[in-house]
Amino acid sequence: MRKSLNTLGSSVAAIILALVICGVLLLITGKNPLMAYGKILETGLTSEKLLEMLKRATPLIFSAIAVAIGFKMNLFNIGVEGQYLFAALIAAEMGTHVSLPAPLHVLFILVVAMVSGAAWASIAAILKITRGINEVISTIMLNYIALSFIQWIFETFFRDDSDGGLNVKTTEIAPSGRMPDLVHDRLNGMFIVALLVAFLYWVIVFRSRFGFQLRASGLNPIAARTAGIPANRMILFALLLSGAVAGLVAMPSVIGDVYAYGPSSTPTQFGFAGITVALLGRNHPFGIIVAAMLFGFLDSTSAVLQLSEIPSSIVKVIQAIIVLVVVIVNEASSRRYNRKIAEQAALSPKSLDVSR
């Protein structure tokens, strides 16, 4: 309890510190930081923008959980970007080839997306297990390979040419395969799925035997192996699971908004944003949801900032600085916390017995 309070306190302090740093940056570049922050709060706290915040948070939650599953096992999955774009294309195309009743159709598309995301992630897993290639390098390479591979399959096979080549999308998914909106045109049902995935992530990684083995392998691989936890199998499972969740990232767009895959209509860059959200949320499901909402909130206000002559990309700069400062402050505070615990342990008489 004390530790989580400690974490919460340091995170809030870090966010304030980051806002101060950004304020200085704004001042140097000749903008008024108080006005900018005031504008962000003023426009962000309307019901319309708060719904947009939830909408923007949805893909971030998926992406961050995908990254966090890897982190829990000490694997850095930078390849979420490639995994979800690949999954979006395959799921959008497969979704047009089946006719099922509504809930099953949606479920089918979601499963296809998860399987294709996991399939793309499995390449990195196999390379790591059989050839020992670091997943950081292989997933970065696989991101670029995915981009051109997707472009090629899309242009040659999946592009819907029915209206004279003007349409740069796959065929639209039938209404039975669409996820209904929670609030018409403002918030899609995928938000509920995101919360569900966050809950499942908590159950599987923090409360199950498998999750225990996963976290143990991440914290101390040698001890885990000694305890009989198969290292290679954990790598494979962690990356498959991560890829499966990554497959859902673009679903709010594919089955909730556009109902198709298109190079320009399917959003990109969520894989990298997910890394920052996972770091900010410290890989904990609750933290990730809060962090995703914070980022969604900031993103939703960027268009209004533009109107008041403050460059909208400052929002992204704020996000990057927040993450860097949060990571630094967390590292420093956890080190201080550990030292304090160690000192207390050294002072209590019990520790003498332990040491003997």
Partner 1 sequence: MTKTKNFKLFVLISAALAIISTVRLWTDQDALTSSDTIGTALRLTVPILLAGMAGLWAERCGVLNIGIEGMMIFGTWFGAWGAWQFGPWVGLLFAILGGMFGGLVHAVATVRFNIDQVISGVVINLFAYFGVRYLSELVYVGKPGGGISQSPPQKWALPKFNMPILSGGEIAGWKSPDFLGWLESQRWFILGDLGGISRGLTHSISWATVIAVIVVPVSAWVLWRTRFGLRLRSSGESPVAAESLGVKVNRLRYYGLLISGGLAGLAGGTLSIVASSYYRQGQTAGRGFIGLATMIFGNWRPSGILTGAMLFGYAEGIKLVASDSITALFLLIASMSGVFLLYAIISRKRSQMLLTMCAFVLSAIAYRTIDTVPESLTQSLPYVVTLIVLATANQRLRPPAMAGVPFRPGEPH
For residue 231, the number of C-alpha atoms closer than 13 Å in the C-beta half-sphere is 15
CB-nearer residue toward partner 1: 36 or 57: 36
- Per rule CB under 8 A, is residue 289 in the interface with partner 1? no
Shortest distance, position 99 Cβ to partner 1, whole Å: 31
| Least Cβ distance, residue 241 to partner 1 (angstroms) | 20
Q: How far is the CB of 321 from partner 1 (least distance, A)?
A: 7
- Restricting to residues 63-92, name those near partner 1 by CB under 8 A: 76, 78
CA angle 24/49/60 to nearest 5° reads 75
CB of 63 vs partner 1, minimal distance in Å: 13
Smallest separation, CB 349 to partner 1 (Å): 23
Of 276, 283, 300, 301, the residue at the interface with partner 1 (CB under 8 A) is: 276
Q: Is 275 in the site for partner 1 (CB under 8 A)?
A: yes
Helix, strand, or coil here: 187?
strand
149 is an interface residue for partner 1 by CB under 8 A:
yes
Closest by CA position to 279, among listed 219, 325, 215, 341: 325
Ordered alpha helix ranges (H), the chain: 2-28, 33-44, 47-72, 80-94, 102-131, 135-153, 190-201, 207, 209-219, 221-226, 231-246, 251-254, 270-280, 285-307, 314-347, 350-355
The yes or no reply on residue 314 touching partner 1 (CB under 8 A) is yes
151 scored as a contact of partner 1 (CB under 8 A): yes
Q: Is 170 in the site for partner 1 (CB under 8 A)?
A: no
Q: DSSP string covering 134-189, please?
A: -HHHHHHHHHHHHHHHHHHHIIIII---TTTT---SPPPPPGGGSPPEEETTTEET
Residue among 114 and 150 whose Cβ is closer to partner 1: 150
Q: Using CA atoms, how far apart are residues 189 and 302, in angstroms rounded to an integer? A: 24
- Note whether 311 binds partner 1 by CB under 8 A: yes
How far from chain centre, in Å, is Cα 132? 26
Residues forming the site for partner 1 (CB under 8 A): 29-30, 76, 78, 127, 131-133, 136-138, 140-142, 144-145, 147-149, 151-152, 155-156, 272, 275-276, 279, 311-314, 316-317, 319-321, 323-324, 327-328, 331-332, 335
